[in-house]
Amino acid sequence: MSSTTLSVSKISVRNLTIRYGSFTALSDVSLEIPPNQVFGIIGPANSGKTSFLNAINRMDMMRSNMQVTGSVHFNGVDVRSWRNVYALRSKIGVVFPLPVGLPLSIYDNVALSPRLRGLTDKTQIDEIVERSLRRAALWDEVKDRLTSLGSLLSGGQQQRLTIARALSQDPEVLMLDEFSIAVDPVTTMRIEDVLKELKQQMTVILVTNLVQQANRLADQTAFFLDGRCVEVGETRALFDGQVRDQRTNDYIEGRFG
């Protein structure tokens, strides 16, 4: 693969295989994720979608039995070559399926990452907190109670707080792993509107168990099945039935999964 190929992709994955002991969760996946798009990943449970995100974000460092081979390049640089993995994760944020609210105030939840980076100027931190909450479509709901515990927010608000916390690091890539699981349909649509705006400033990788959510949001979509990437294509074309593998169409049409 040439350096030119790497440079045009935000994330470039080649021959990625992930094993947990003797179990192979993902096998020989290769794909390109362009900048400033929403890249959707669909597929049934246990198809390797979350493991794929973990490899991008170097979460294997936290799982002793997770073995990764192949390569993942971010901005043309192999993620495994980063000596400071925390610096990598500040560039590649992640939002998990269930809100992970820290036992802190709303303000401190969002201010934590800037403070950990060494920022001490309160005016700058205030600006980051407000900007992040606005980008997560939460500011208007919480601006008068920033000192309240984040854990007291509703489930949907906590999920948006989690997004705001990820955005406080100004990531270049935002990965979301089935964010809709814990939120109501109205909040889901609000977050979808946020993601449409965010792709103007960053790359969004969206793992979703809702195929129509991928249809609404994703510019390109990958279909994972049994630990393999069956197909990648323009979302509109895939949902119009222009597939190379009939299993892709069968999954989109709800015939299994």
Would you give the end-to-end CA distance of the chain in angstroms? 34
Can you give the pLDDT at residue 7? 47
Q: Are strands 173-177 and 203-207 parallel, antiparallel or unpaired?
A: parallel
Question: Can you give the pLDDT at residue 101?
Answer: 64
- Amino acid at site 95: V
Phi, psi torsion values for 133, nearest 5 degrees:
-70, -35
The pLDDT, as a whole number, for residue 38 is 98
Query: What is the structure's pLDDT at 217?
Result: 97
Residue 63's pLDDT is 81
What pLDDT score does 145 carry? 96
* pLDDT score, position 100: 66
Domains contained in the chain, CATH given: 3-252 (3.40.50.300)
Q: How far apart are CA 221 and CA 233, in angstroms?
A: 6
Query: Average pLDDT for consecutive 10-residue bins of the chain (257 residues)?
Result: 55 97 96 97 96 93 89 96 91 84 90 93 97 95 96 90 94 94 86 93 96 97 97 97 96 91
106-116 vs 155-167: helix axis angle to the nearest 10?
A: 20
Strands 77-78, 66-74: pairing is: antiparallel
Query: Do the Cβ atoms of 226 and 251 come closer than 8 Å?
Result: no
Count the residues in the chain: 257
What count of other Cβ atoms lies within 10 Å of the Cβ of residue 217?
23
| pLDDT value of residue 5 | 41
- Phi-psi bin for 76: left (phi > 0), alpha (psi -120 to 50), beta? left
